[in-house]
Amino acid sequence: MKKPIVINVENVSFSYGSHEVLKDLNLKVYEGDYIAVIGPNGGGKTTFTKLLLGLLTPTSGEIKIFGKEVIEARQQIGYLPQYINFNMDMPVNVFDIVLQGRLTPKKLFYSHEDKQIAHTQLEKMRISHLKNRKIKELSGGQRQRVLLARALAKQPKILILDEPTASIDPEGQKDIYDLLKALPLTKIIVSHDIQVLFEGVTRVAHINKTLYLHEDIDTSIHRKDGHFCEMELLDYIKSHTCSS
Ligand SMILES: Nc1ncnc2c1ncn2[C@@H]1O[C@H](COP(=O)(O)OP(=O)(O)O)[C@@H](O)[C@H]1O
Ligand SMILES: [Mg+2]
């Protein structure tokens, strides 16, 4: 039996002014899917995530999340944007930042439960020991884990990540992928790093103005002497040629 559809993108196009960036996208995301979004710079990946979050509205077509309008489903989505401008002099510590994930437009105070949830997420991201540190005292990988913990503190059903490992060293990247893999959520990750394809991803969406979905990626082909091999991946993708 097919799993329930969590996100349904139907015939979606988007333009910034007269510049059409996305054209006729279709995608059904099922519960528990882990979708990697790949494609060239400027291909429209970030724009696509912003449409899913309701930060932008399709020029035509429709997106439904849990069968509802995107705006109504927003509370169910945890998001890690591509760029975050941290004010490094912020007087807040790691715990405060994670706690912010509990904020809603109506909530003025944090409850005991909010604090417990924040603690649990810090543990899950294995950064409890950093809870009193300031953001400027952390490495790139540690910062990303703080932001992930904040996104998860919202207890979302869907997690959308836009190039979460772009500024992290390879070892730190592997750690983040391992943490993500273990999260039992519906996940969409934009990444330039094809390593992600071997870290539990179920399907790959290639976006370059249009969207092409690679189903059933075969992750058994990739490791040679413990390394994944880009050439083998390219061969594999070629042999499963895009039909659109
Ligand atoms: N706010 C904006 N206003 C106008 N054009 C934009 C804006 N944001 C992105 N673009 C353009 O839209 C295209 C897709 O950008 P983006 O979605 O950021 O691609 P990607 O994330 O795949 O690199 C690019 O040509 C970019 O210059
Ligand atoms: Mg981008």
Residues 204, 208, 211, 214, CA torsion sign = negative
Nearest one of 82, 73, 7 to 44, comparing CA atoms? 82
Q: What pLDDT does 244 receive?
A: 43
Tell me if 49 CB under 6 Å of ligand 1. no
Tell me if 44 CB under 6 Å of ligand 1. yes
Nearest one of 144, 165, 148, 187 to 7, comparing CA atoms? 187
Q: What pLDDT does 239 receive?
A: 59
Q: Report CA 27 to chain centroid distance, whole Å.
A: 16
Q: What burial letters (b/e) apply to 88-101, b meaning 16+ CB within 10 Å?
A: eeeeebbbbbbbeb
CATH architecture for residues 5-84+157-239: 3-Layer(aba) Sandwich (3.40)
Ligand 1 centroid vs 18 CA: distance in angstroms? Answer: 13
Q: Which stretches in the chain have pLDDT values below 50?
A: 221, 226-227, 243-244
What pTM value is reported for the model?
0.88
Mutate to test the pocket of ligand 1, among 16, 51, 191 (most ligand atoms within 8 A of CB): 16
Question: Counting atoms of ligand 1 from 1, which one is nearest the CA of 48?
Answer: 17
Q: What pLDDT does 90 receive?
A: 74
Q: What angle do CA 203, 208, 214 make, to 5 degrees?
A: 20
Tell me if 21 CB under 6 Å of ligand 1. yes
Could you state, in order of their start, the residue ranges of all structural domains in the chain?
A: 5-84+157-239
Nearest one of 161, 160, 244, 234 to 210, comparing CA atoms? 244
Question: Counting atoms of ligand 1 from 1, which one is nearest the CA of 50?
Answer: 17
